[in-house]
Each structure stands twice: as structure tokens, then as C-alpha cells.
Amino acid sequence: MNIYLPIAEISVNAFLLLGLGGGVGFLSGVFGVGGGFLMTPLLIFIGIPPAVAVATEANQIVASSFSGVLAHWRRRTVDFKMGLVLLAGGLVGSAVGVQIFAYLRELGQVELLVSLSYVVFLGIVGAMMFIESIRALLQTKIGRPAPRRRHHWVHGLPFKMRFRASNLYISAIPPFLVGVLVGVLAAIMGVGGGFIMVPAMIYLLGMATTVVVGTSLFQIMFVTGATTLMHAMLNQTVDGILAVLLLLGGVVGAQIGVRIGPKLKAEQLRVLLALLVMVVGAKMGYDLVRTPDELFTMAWRGGGH
């Protein structure tokens, strides 16, 4: 059943969009990521313009993240105080990112920006996550628990706060800066930023894995919501019909993911997430360098005669 998307200006199968939303929602519930790192490229692959894919996907992430947060809140696996610090940085970052996005859209360079952002960030972060995850998996197999990383330079910074749910007493500066970076990525790439925030919370801040997923989803929910509003007001690139279809699938998928996630081993989850990140980054990189199907296109730009 095809449905016309007025902002994207194309017709797409509604069940395909529901399925994509469900799959991304599942990832959100299992890994604590928004899933936009996978959904935005998929939307572009099926013909959605990059500007519309980025802005609309942020809306879908809100729904799947909210669904996941509710489940984790009931289990008391959300550090709300840490989430608020991350959120403060995220709101600053998303405001900056939307302005950058709008400027490059006027220059006609937004598609290149989105693709390059995916290749760089997914490649670097995916490789780092994969190496750390394999190391933790090997340590677990030989009977030694994977050590929780605590960087001394982080603990030596000022403005310390006590995060009781995470059992931490650290500076608020690192989580704030992580939030800023995630906010910028949410605006430019249409992602929740969980693929950066989750490993940063584990390896940089030293948070326990049990509260990382729920806390990540809490921050993602508000930052992507703010990003959606700013994109809608400034860039007019949010497709309401596309957003609703992705939202419906995302809510259902997130609930399934939250139930399945705790049954899987944390080290195995990290390896799988790292592989997903690297595969998507490689696909985006290939699309940048491959020869296009049409070498030349002609379009009316208006103006003089």
C-alpha cells in the first residue's frame, strides 16, 4: 500500500516504513541508542531527500526513546541527574547544529554534509567500540570481569557532582560536553547520538552498564524532540505522515527490544552494535565514491532569462 509523502514529494510503501520504524525501535530498546544512525541512511536509500530524512527521523527517535524510558524507569535503571546534565549540553548542541544545517542547506551542500558525517563518525566510533567490546568479551571468557574504565583526568576536573544512581562522583563538564556533541549530531545527522553517548558513558564516565541504556534514552528523547521542533520551524523539512508511520513502528519495536535486551550479555550487545555502526558507515562511504547512475542532471533554477 503506497502512501504519498507531501514534504518528501514521493510515494512509499506504508508497511515498509512501519517495518523500518519497528526495527529501529527494537534497536533503541536493546542498545539504548536512538537508531537514527541506521534509519536515516535507510530512508535516504529508499529515496527520501536527505534534508527530510534527517529532520523527520529525529521525530521518530522521540517516540521509540520515550517508550524505552518508560520501561527502564519502571525498573529504576535511569540516572535522571546524569540525564539532566547530558540534556543541558544536548540542547545547546542541537541549537548550534540546526543553524549549521540550515546554512549548508542554503548552499546546497547538506547531502554531502550528512554523508561525510556518517562516514567519519560511524567509522571512528564503530572501530573503537568493536576493539573495546572484543577486549571485554575475551576478558570475560577467561574468567576476569571487564574492568570499568576510570580516567584520572576526568576525575580531576572541577564542578564535581554526585550521581547516586550511577555510583559516581565526577565533574559535570565531561557529560555536558558529551551532550553538546550528541546534540550537534542529532541536528546534522538525524540521529539520537546513542552510538557515541553509550560508549562515552561506559568508557569515559565509568557508568555501570545497568543504568547506561535508560539514561541514554532519557537524554535522547528530549534532545531529538527539541531538534524536530527547530527543524520544523527553521527548515520546514519535517514530513508529518512519514513521522507518524515511523513513530507507530518505533513504539512497538522499542517495547520488544527492552524485554529482549536484558536476556543478552552486555559484551555481546556491544560487539553487535559496533558491527552495525561500521557496516552503515562503510555503506555511506561506498555511496560517496561510487560512480552515480546518472552522471549529469538538469534542473531549472529560475532567475534571469
Burial class (CB in 10 A: 0-12, 13-18, 19+), 287: middle
Give residues with Cβ within 8 angstroms of 243, minimum separation 6: 56, 59, 60
Residues 185 and 220: beta-carbon distance below 8 Å: no
Residue 190 — very low, low, confident or very high, per pLDDT cuts 50/70/90?
low
Cβ–Cβ < 8 Å for 269, 31: yes
DSSP character for 291?
P
CA distance 181 to 198: 13
Backbone torsions φ then ψ of 28, nearest 5 degrees: -60, -45
pLDDT at 300: 46
Question: Does residue 299 carry a pLDDT above 50?
Answer: no
* pLDDT higher than 70, residue 33: no
Query: Where is pLDDT greater, at 75 or 132?
Result: 75
Say which residue, 261 or 213, is predicted with more confidence.
213
Q: Which residue has the cell 584520572?
A: 152
DSSP 218: H
178 has pLDDT over 80: yes
